[in-house]
């Protein structure tokens, strides 16, 4: 297949996944409502409770952190569909189509990535209204960070969901991975609070999780916290993304081709 043919096939796979994405409009509305409720509740409950020496403005702190959760949760949704395809053996049909397996893998990961970006865009605009409008460099950082986080989580979700045909195991693996990344992050609390409540190695490890790294970059881009070493955080995110995409792609390929 020529390069142009491969690109066309990838575009068709991405289009298919995006078309199916809109079928979940009620799920999307629920997710958006839940995240907006989180921002409102946390803002009302915690703003006057937290130590302002640790978090000067919890509302802005949490609003910028939710952006990372939004991309993560939406990109992870494609894993559920891949799991259904595996159980119904629809994957055999996809493998029989006239394109390579790497084209299929690339298309599925890109489809999940775009889902994450679309869903996340409303929260980025909300943060710009509530926290402040980033400058051009900030917008560029946000765009690259969102793409990297969505791509890595999309690949991870696909790899996990294709690892077994058992629905219960698929759901358990996805939920376990989701909650590990969700709760072991600094979206809700800054590093100082984590260091006070958890053993030092665990608190340090949380700071190096991809959702934590992305949240730090968003807080820097929205000028909420300029003390972050943005170069180090960006480099770490790129290392995470590259490694996870390679591993996830190989696992998905192996799961597709094993007997």
What is the 8-class DSSP label of residue 57?
-
Rounded Cα gap, residues 226 and 115, in angstroms? 29
Rounded Cα gap, residues 38 and 135, in angstroms? 27
Mean pLDDT of 158-177: 79
Check residues 178 and 138 and name the one with the higher pLDDT: 138
pLDDT for 219 equals 93
Sequence ranges of the domains in the chain: 3-258
Q: Which of 39-43, 72-76, 100-104, 181-185 has the highest mean pLDDT?
A: 100-104
Q: Against a cut of 0.95, is the pTM above it?
A: no
Check residues 208 and 168 and name the one with the higher pLDDT: 208
Reference 153, options 127, 126, 185, 128; nearest CA is 185
Lowest mean pLDDT: which of 71-75, 88-92, 141-145, 159-163? 71-75
> What are the contacts of 201-210 at 24+ separation with CB within 8 A?
208/236, 209/181, 209/184, 209/185, 210/149, 210/152, 210/153, 210/181, 210/237, 210/240, 210/241, 210/244
């Amino acid at each position: 297949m020529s390069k142009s043919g491969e690109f066309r096939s990838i575009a068709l796979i991405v289009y298919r996944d995006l078309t199916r994405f809109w079928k979940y409009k009620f799920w999307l509305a629920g997710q958006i409502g839940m995240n907006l409720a989180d921002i409102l509740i946390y803002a009302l409950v915690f703003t006057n409770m937290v130590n302002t020496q640790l978090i000067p403005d919890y509302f802005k702190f949490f609003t910028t952190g939710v952006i990372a959760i939004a991309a993560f949760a939406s990109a992870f949704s494609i894993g559920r569909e891949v799991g259904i395809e595996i159980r119904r053996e629809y994957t055999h049909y996809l493998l029989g189509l006239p394109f390579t397996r790497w084209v299929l893998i690339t298309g599925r990961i890109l489809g999940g990535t775009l889902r994450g970006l679309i869903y996340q865009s409303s929260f980025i605009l909300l943060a710009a209204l509530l926290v402040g409008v980033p400058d051009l460099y900030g917008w560029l950082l946000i765009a690259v960070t969102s793409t990297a986080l969505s791509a890595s989580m999309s690949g991870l979700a696909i790899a996990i969901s294709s690892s077994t045909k058992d629905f219960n195991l698929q759901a358990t693996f996805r939920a376990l991975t989701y909650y590990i990344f969700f709760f072991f992050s600094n979206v809700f609390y800054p590093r100082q609070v984590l260091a006070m409540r958890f053993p030092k190695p665990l608190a340090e490890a949380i700071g190096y999780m991809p959702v934590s790294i992305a949240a730090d970059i968003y807080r820097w881009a929205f000028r909420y916290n300029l003390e972050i070493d943005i170069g180090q955080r960006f480099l770490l995110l790129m290392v995470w993304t590259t490694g996870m995409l390679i591993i996830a792609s190989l696992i998905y390929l192996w799961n597709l081709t094993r007997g």
